[in-house]
Chains A and B, each alone.
Chain A
Amino acid sequence: MALDPSLRSRGRDAESSGADGAGAGVVLGEQGGDAWSEGRHAPAIGPWQLAFRRLRRNKVALAFLSLFVLLVVVCLLAPVYSKHIAHIGPNTNNVTGTINLNGKSTNVVSTDGVPIGPTFTSHYFFGADTNGRDLAVRLLYGGRTSLLIGGVATIIIIFFGTLIGLLCGYFRGIVDALLRPLMELIWSFPPVILGVAVGTALALGGIGPIKGNSVMIPALIIGVIYIPYLGKPVRGEVLRLREQDFVDAARLQGLGPWRIMISEILPNAASTIIVFVPMMLAITILLEAYLSFLGAGVQAPNASWGTLISDGIQYIQTVPTYSLIPGAMLVLTVLSINVVGDGVRDALDPRAQVRLKT
């Protein structure tokens, strides 16, 4: 039996009101706003549309969403900048090269090995690294790498975290007894230490068809490390939902466990999962930076914001921009994701907004 999601959700709200009382009342209040007090009926719109409407009202979240989109677009344009503006690839060494600055030929890297600082021209806008590579180009390519790893890791977390949470929460028993300790085991390790240990080991030999220097290695490691961070809350939510009347009703209609999980429980747990998406994206990008900074993430010569910060550390006194600029990009990205994430949470969790209003 497939229902229109909005209808099913409305049904859920109605049922929830019987189950825990407050849920439906708050949702209706949010739907109606002032209309509720005026005694008018709430407009017939679904919770997703409501959430979107609330998100649109959150100007701060929208501003940071725009910033995040801008950062992503800029990073995606890295090949264009590299080819048509800087005229140098991200991994192209140019140790003995020279550039023309103010009519004067200048070494990209001095004979004593000191790289050129920011020129604020099309060539070496943010300066060069020790190998004479254009930092601006590497910054953009590094951003692509960081975002790619964060994105892939988040997809791994969402897919496997949701799957494991659903299985543990719905079946309980032996499935829960097997999978839950596994999650607890991963959970019990500090992410950075676990990431460094596994990252260092896999960087040498790779895993299966993935080579050791592939950016998919850190993505995989980070994804696996954070699966319990979503799996455990989803499990808790599923444990709660499986006891609800609408699940019992589905069982009475003869639906099998997989059908119930996918068509009944998952849509109702979706808001919990969605709230976790930006949070996971932010922490995966940060963990990638930690690991790459420590040499256990992205492998040379590929760049990420973490490797760029690491490379620039030794020049922090003489050329601070070398590590500060990738650091700033990282901060802006994570900050924008977090603010957008807060906005999404507020939009999907009307109770939180009510609390804010009172």
Chain B
Amino acid sequence: MKRKTRPAAATLLAITAAVALAACGGSSSSSSSAASSGSASGSSGGKEGGTITIASGTPPLSADQGLDFTTQGTELYSVVNLPLLTFVRGVQGTAGSKIEPGLAKAMPTVSNGGKTYTFQLRPGLHYSNGMPIKASDVTYAVERDIKIPWQAASFVSAYIKGGSDYAKGKSKTISGMVTNDATGTIKINLVAPFAPIVDIFALAGTAPVPSNTPMKNLAATGTIGDGQYKWGPITPGHTYTLVKNTKFDVPGLPKGHADKIVYNVNPNVLANAEQVLNNQSDVFDAGDTLPSSILEQVKTQAADRFQAIPTNSSYYFWFSTQKKPFNNLDARQAVLAALDDRALSRLDSGFIAEDCHLIPTGIIGHSSPSSCPFHDPAGPPNMTLAKSLMQKSGMTGTAITVYGEERSPRRQWLDYFTGVLNQLGFKATEKVVNSGVYFTTIGAPSLKPTVGWGDWVQDFPNPWDFMQLFASDAGSSLNYGYVSDPHYDQTLNKLDQQPPDSVAGQWSALDQYAVNKAYYAAYGHQEFPKFYSNKLNFNSGVLSVEYQTDLTSLQLK
């Protein structure tokens, strides 16, 4: 059962107000000084140009798309680095997951039994600095992903022929990527048929970069890109500036409205929300949770510029299946039985729709929460079952360290989860890690943590995107608990060769299998806040399932 939706009356009021405001359009007198630099009104009743500020609680790990794979980073560099394919922009909801050609002329042709994908570059493409884009730059970008390495490097190294040899240093290039700069052809040969490769070449991490781009993390400058915006001044961890790329002209793709977008990081999410409420910042970053202390105020004072949008995301706790006590199935299952998903939702201001499955509602293969084996996620936990499983496991009294992130509500989730573990009889202590380095900390191969918190937001609309997190070859930067189950791996490798809708039931069964095995204690899927200042055209702004805030859609009134 999903969390209750907002009252229909409030929604109606919001729509009415938004329509009325949109009608006022460019004549609004509330435009900021930044807004005043904008040019004439756009077609949707907003202005072109001006500066838009985003208030975020967490910085991306890096401005370099060759390293970073965070939601915060994707939001920013997805408008800087346009790949061969791209997810459709300007569309809210699951329709925003549709893939369309980006730098490529058309969708790739598939041959060789699904093992070869051929792309053709559009003619006359240039980077923001004026350099022409070559087909071989795509290979260089992928090689750079493997070398730096990209947080999702396994997406390419494991599936493209020659990728793993290149990663191990056995070859100087990726043999499976064959390009022709003269014709603009890019041929990608795979180890085996792998349907999500189309989605992967729609990720900014695979966008071409000039071949003179250093093979190192460019956190303070980002890379030269080919998208709607280019990097302006960056103060890593604090401020990221995007400036409109006036050279961008790819037919069919939006160019963006604002001249400049400034992404300011302040870990105080409440202060960020207050700034947007008071129109001192324009966008509350969708990746942050609106604190419950201000939620009511936002709902009443800014009903026309706030909306909770369902996204394809999953929140979970993971277990190290290699180490005591969670190498014991009963111990893991006891935790799942004892976890109160309702409590975790409340700690997130009620934005979590409770579920024990990893594949979220909007993705093929999603299972109904009613099939959760240990208790109904919308109801109380089954403590009787939990305690009996715990007793059976013989793991009572085992000391464990629980890893979690600092920012709200993640620290509150950690407090709660640690409390549950102690209630079950473990001797659990918390380890709170700074949000900026949390995932790199728990993913460090030297650490091998026992248990902790994790989340995943859709990269592309394929259940593989979620289920690969627990594949044995996913690496420690994704599979934090080092889950290694031959049946799971074999099923995953079989399913990823098929179009997802043709094997939806099998994806669902794999998720259910992992829940029964308690490889993860998933507790739900989150709604993200779309919350703007009154200087922005709320209707034109899009909260995308792919990019979170679609920066090309942001427009001043």
- Residues of A bordering B, CB below 8 Å: 91-93, 95-96, 109-114, 130-132, 200, 203-204, 211-213, 295, 299-301, 313-315, 317-319
Q: Residue B431 contacts which of A204, A314, A315 (CB distance < 8 angstroms)?
A: A204
Contact check: which of A93, A200, A204, A317 meets B343 at CB < 8 Å? A93
Flag if A204 contacts B292 (CB, 8 Å).
no
**Could you tell me if B419 and A91 are in contact, using CB atoms closer than 8 angstroms?**
yes
Pick the residue among A111, A295, A313 that contacts B406 (CB under 8 A). A295
Contacting A at CB under 8 A, from B331-377, are 340, 342-350
Given contacts A96-B380, A300-B411, are A114 and B429 in contact (CB under 8 A)?
A: no
Q: Check B347–A299 contact: CB distance below 8 A.
A: no
B340 touches A213 (CB 8 A): no
Complex CA–CA separation, A111 to B350 (angstroms) = 6
Which chain A residue lies CB-closest to B433?
A204
A113 touches B433 (CB 8 A): no
**Residues of chain A within 8 A of B294, CB atoms compared:** 314
In the complex, the answer to whether B350 meets A112 with C-beta atoms within 8 Å is yes
A220–B348 Cα distance when bound, in Å, is: 35
Q: Tell which of A114, A132, A300, A319 touches B296, judged by Cβ atoms closer than 8 Å.
A: A114
Looking at chain A's contact residues, is the secondary structure mostly helix, strand, loop, or mixed? loop
B415 touches A315 (CB 8 A): no
Determine the distance from Cα of A109 to Cα of B349 in the docked complex, in whole angstroms: 10
**B430 touches which of A112, A132, A213, A318 (Cβ 8 Å):** A213
The answer to whether A95 and B430 touch across the interface, beta carbons within 8 angstroms, is no
Q: Is the CB of A314 within 8 A of B291?
A: yes
Partner of A92, one of B295, B347, B419, B430: B419
Report the Cα distance A300→B419, complex, angstroms: 11
In the bound complex, do residue B418 and residue A317 qualify as a contact, i.e. CB atoms below 8 Å apart?
no
Q: Is the CB of A113 within 8 A of B346?
A: yes
With an 8 A cutoff between CB atoms, is B33 at the interface? no
CB-CB < 8 A to B340: which residues of A? Answer: 95-96
Which residue from chain A places its CB closest to the CB of B413 in the assembled complex?
A131
Instruction: Find out whether the CB atom of A300 lies under 8 angstroms from the CB atom of B293.
Output: no
B380 and A95 contact, CB distance less than 8 A: no
B432 touches A300 (CB 8 A): yes
- Closest chain A residue, CB of each to CB of B349: A113
Across-interface contacts of B430 in A (CB, < 8 A): 213, 299-301
Q: A114, B432: Cβ atoms under 8 Å?
A: no
Inter-subunit contact A317/B293 (CB<8 Å): yes
Residues of B within 8 A of A315 (CB): 293
Given A113-B348, A130-B347, A314:B416 Cβ within 8 A = no
Complex Cα spacing A114 to B350, Å: 10
Interface residues as binary, B401-416 with A (CB distance below 8 Å gives 1, 0 otherwise): 0000010110110111
Q: How far is the CB of B58 from chain A (nearest CB, A)?
A: 15
B54 is an interface residue with CB less than 8 A from chain A: no
**B295 touching A300, Cβ below 8 Å:** no
Q: How far is the CB of B318 from chain A (nearest CB, A)?
A: 20
- A114 pairs with B292, CB closer than 8 A: yes
| Residues on the A chain within 8 Å of B414, using CB | 300
Q: Is the CB of B416 within 8 A of A211?
A: no
In the complex, what distance in Å separates the CA atom of A299 from the CA atom of B345? 23
| 16 residue pairs from A and B, CB less than 8 Å apart | A93-B416, A96-B340, A96-B342, A96-B346, A109-B343, A113-B350, A130-B347, A130-B412, A131-B347, A131-B416, A132-B343, A211-B429, A301-B415, A301-B419, A314-B408, A315-B293
